[in-house]
């Protein structure tokens, strides 16, 4: 797109670091082109969350942002308000810019979490088979919090796993064969394995997996992660995060463009 971003009616974008793995810019800009929407989507790769306000000041036509790692939790103190899901979970992946209709001046930055329902809508009967009543969620960041909420709302018990031990979190070294057998769904909600670091994966005991397990990686680039490959080697079913990405992207655009009366 040759048009200057500041010449567009609307700018949307993504904040995070790094952003080499992201498909959002191509997805949204293709959508805008296909639907003749006077808008542009920009990746804002910022090394510190404090730089968000510099981005806001530089682009007076910025109307919405997606938020990815490592800022889904860190961004909250910079926002004016949160929707119910973002407040409950303690993580934000969508920011809506609420502007005065007459002057265009920024009135409020409001945070939302579309990851909860984006992930939740991928939990079809093929994913949550009758035997999968509990899940292991790898990670404890913003994505893991959204996944946990979506699972618990559907009656699935959750065991969190991380590299750091807490009262409610196992470390990988504690996982036994019996524990893995009890959890039919294993979700990688860590960034380990996303492009360009696609030679990494969580230090999970993959040898305990069976064909009864589904290993779900929220990462979508690469399409098949090392986590998925290692799980499949032991017979487990695997799923990547592209469906979740698309569903939460649709929700993001709906949040950015809804009427103020729908807030």
- Please list the pLDDT of the chain residue by residue as tens digits (263 residues): 567 888 899 999 999 999 988 899 999 999 999 999 999 999 999 999 999 999 999 999 999 999 999 999 999 999 999 999 999 999 999 999 999 988 889 999 999 999 999 999 999 999 999 989 999 999 999 999 999 999 999 999 999 999 999 889 999 999 999 999 999 999 999 999 999 999 999 999 999 999 999 999 999 999 999 999 999 999 999 999 999 999 999 999 999 998 754 44
Task: Specify the CATH number for the domain of residue 175.
Answer: 3.40.50.720
Residues noted as catalytic? 72
> Within a domain: residue 152?
yes
- How many other CB atoms are there within 10 angstroms of residue 196's CB atom? 10
Let me know whether 81 and 137 are in one domain.
no
> Within a domain: residue 233?
yes
Let me know whether 106 and 9 are in one domain.
yes
Let me know whether 127 and 208 are in one domain.
yes
Q: Structural domain tally of the chain?
A: 2
> Within a domain: residue 262?
no
Task: Specify the CATH number for the domain of residue 46.
Answer: 3.40.50.10860
Smallest Cα–Cα separation from 142: which of 236, 74, 80? 74
Let me know whether 155 and 96 are in one domain.
no
Could you list the beta-strand ranges (E) of 131-174.
134-138, 157-162, 169-171
> Within a domain: residue 160?
yes
- pTM recorded for the entire structure: 0.92
Let me know whether 202 and 223 are in one domain.
yes
Token pair listed for 135: 């899940």
Let me know whether 128 and 230 are in one domain.
yes
Let me know whether 105 and 191 are in one domain.
no
Let me know whether 149 and 70 are in one domain.
no
Question: Which residue range forms the structural domain that includes residue 212?
Answer: 123-240
């Amino acid at each position: 797109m040759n048009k200057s971003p500041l010449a567009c009616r609307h700018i949307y974008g993504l904040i995070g670091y790094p952003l080499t793995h992201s498909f959002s810019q191509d997805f949204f800009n293709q959508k805008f082109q296909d639907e003749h929407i006077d808008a542009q989507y920009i990746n804002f790769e910022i090394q510190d969350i404090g730089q968000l306000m510099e981005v806001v000041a530089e682009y007076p036509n910025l109307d919405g942002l997606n938020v990815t790692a490592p800022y889904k939790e860190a961004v909250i103190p910079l926002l004016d308000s949160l929707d119910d899901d973002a407040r409950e979970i303690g993580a934000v992946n969508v920011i809506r810019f609420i502007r005065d209709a007459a002057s265009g001046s920024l009135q409020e930055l409001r945070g939302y979490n579309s990851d909860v329902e984006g992930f939740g809508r991928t939990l079809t009967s093929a994913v949550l088979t009758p035997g999968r009543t509990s899940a292991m969620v790898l990670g404890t960041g913003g994505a893991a919090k959204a996944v946990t909420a979506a699972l618990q709302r559907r009656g699935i018990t959750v065991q969190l796993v991380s590299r750091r031990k807490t009262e409610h979190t196992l470390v990988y070294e504690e996982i036994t064969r019996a524990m893995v057998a009890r959890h039919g769904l294993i979700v990688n909600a860590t960034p380990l394995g996303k492009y360009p670091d696609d030679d990494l994966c969580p230090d999970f005991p993959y040898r305990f997996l069976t064909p009864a397990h589904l290993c779900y990686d929220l990462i979508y680039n690469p399409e098949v992660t090392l986590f998925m490959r290692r799980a499949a080697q032991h017979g487990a079913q695997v799923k990547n995060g592209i469906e979740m990405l698309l569903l939460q992207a649709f929700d993001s655009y709906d949040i950015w463009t809804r009427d103020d009366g729908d807030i």
